[in-house]
Amino acid sequence: MKTLNIASIPGDGVGKEIMPEAIRVLEKVAQVHGGLQFKFEEFPYSCDYYLKHGAMMPEDGMDRLSQFDSVFLGAVGDASKVPDHISLWGLLLKIRQEFQQEINIRPAKLLKGINSKLADPKDFDIVVVRENSEGEYSSIGGRIFHDDNEIAIQNNVFSKRATKQAMNIAFDLASKRKGLVTSATKSNGIFHAMPFWDEIFEEISAKHPNIKSGSKHIDALAAYFITHPHELDVVVGSNLFGDILSDVGAAIMGSIGVAPSANLNLNGKYPSMFEPVHGSAPDIVGKGIANPIGQIWTAKMLLEFNGEANIAEHLLKVIEAVTADGYQTPDLGGKYKMTEVTDEIINRLGQ
């Protein structure tokens, strides 16, 4: 029997609602598999934890999480309790950076039966490879002076190593898919970092003559996600550009409530972390209508990266059969509750 030890962090808002749903699904997956079991330990790290303890996690929090095969996270953030930059840097971004989860993989494709927000979405299937450890997400900088004289300085950090790594992963992925990599740039406006990014992209492109590649400025590329998503394959972007593009990708998937993501540690020193693209959705908390599919599709990615590709594919097929038959939450225009969608997935896993 193979055991996967998973640290679950439901976090805030709808994270607390969808996490139990995904765990119910994973328990069923294990039962169907026969040779797999999960041991979950839940960690209460969240904005409520912050209000009690003055920090998003305890001093030994990272040490404890490091003992697990993977971290499974819901969503972090509740601006009514803790400012967003404090909650994100104290938990989500802390884990991404300290566990060296330098790559974030964010698929965007349309599941059967779901209406895209596009009138004619065709059959798009995109993977955003987001550099996940540096770029615009840097704590280097500061603020000086007061009142109208106040100045904020925020430094971007782009290393050749991490940039190359994200691009190499994008090319590897494209070689197993449609063979196209598109780079998100903004070298017309961002004077230092983006020409640097483009030079590295050209260098890596030259090493992959069998893969088609091209660059688009982030503004035009965001529009291209809307107008020509079926012409994209793998898209590689910096931390901020990848963040924005993955929300556009989620919108054309029908709702951010379905979009999954994997924060990957590549050197094996720390666990990877799996969490949906969306946040804590404060506007729908407590209504029982959060879409559980983002968290459940994320569970599919957790299985895949823990060596269980077959059952992972099976789970995605079951999710898609359920959406195809119209079991959808209100964000997708459906009338079903969160638990009803999950129940349907669990029923069909058992068949």
Ligand X SMILES: O=C(O)C[C@@H](O)C(=O)O
Q: From the DSSP assignment, how many helices (H) and strands (E) are in the chain?
A: 12, 12
Please tell me whether residue 243 binds ligand X under the rule CB under 6 A: yes
Cα(263)–Cα(243) distance, integer angstroms: 12
Run of H or E residues at 4: strand 2-11
Q: Are 81 and 50 in contact (CB under 8 A)?
A: yes
- Of these, 246, 294, 312, 334, which contacts ligand NAD (CB under 6 A)? 294
Query: Of 230 and 287, which has the nearer Cβ to ligand NAD?
Result: 287
In the complex, minimum distance from the CB of residue 87 to Mn ion, in angstroms, rounded to a whole number: 14
Please tell me whether residue 277 binds ligand X under the rule CB under 6 A: yes
Please tell me whether residue 243 binds Mn ion under the rule CB under 5 A: yes
Residue with tokens 């020509």: 228
The helix, strand and coil proportions of the chain, stated in percent and rounded to the nearest 5, come to 45, 20, 35
Interface segment toward K ion; rule CB under 5 A; list 45-53, 114-122, 183-191, 271-279? 271-279
Please tell me whether residue 75 binds ligand NAD under the rule CB under 6 A: yes
Token digits of residue 52:
């009690």
Cα(274)–Cα(92) distance, integer angstroms: 11
In the complex, minimum distance from the CB of residue 160 to K ion, in angstroms, rounded to a whole number: 29
Please tell me whether residue 252 binds ligand X under the rule CB under 6 A: no
* Binding partner of 256, given ligand NAD, ligand X, K ion, none, CB within 5-8 angstroms per partner class: ligand NAD
Strand partners, 36: 2
Cα(160)–Cα(10) distance, integer angstroms: 34
Please tell me whether residue 186 binds ligand NAD under the rule CB under 6 A: no
Query: Of 21 and 275, which has the nearer Cβ to K ion?
Result: 275
Q: Are 77 and 12 in contact (CB under 8 A)?
A: yes
Please tell me whether residue 283 binds ligand NAD under the rule CB under 6 A: yes
Contact pattern from residue 28 through residue 67 relative to ligand NAD, giving x for each residue in contact according to CB under 6 A and a dash for the rest: ----------------------------------------
- Residue type for position 108: A
Strands 2-11 and 36-42: parallel
Please tell me whether residue 258 binds K ion under the rule CB under 5 A: no
Count other C-beta atoms under 10 Å from residue 88's C-beta: 18
Q: Is 4 exposed, middle or buried (0-12, 13-18, 19+ CB in 10 A)?
A: buried
Number of residues that bind Mn ion (CB under 5 A): 1
- Of these, 25, 76, 194, 211, which contacts ligand NAD (CB under 6 A)? 76
Number of residues that bind ligand NAD (CB under 6 A): 25
Contact pattern from residue 172 through residue 211 relative to ligand X, giving x for each residue in contact according to CB under 6 A and a dash for the rest: ----------------------------------------
- Residue type for position 71: V
- Of these, 131, 275, 304, 320, which contacts K ion (CB under 5 A)? 275
* Opening angle at CA 139, ends 137 and 140, nearest 5: 115
Please tell me whether residue 218 binds ligand NAD under the rule CB under 6 A: no
Q: Is 350 exposed, middle or buried (0-12, 13-18, 19+ CB in 10 A)?
A: exposed
Query: Of 207 and 335, which has the nearer Cβ to ligand NAD?
Result: 335
Query: Of 105 and 345, which has the nearer Cβ to Mn ion?
Result: 105
Please tell me whether residue 129 binds ligand X under the rule CB under 6 A: no
Q: Site residues (CB under 5 A) for Mn ion?
A: 243
Q: Site residues (CB under 6 A) for ligand X?
A: 88, 243, 277
Q: Site residues (CB under 5 A) for K ion?
A: 75, 275-276
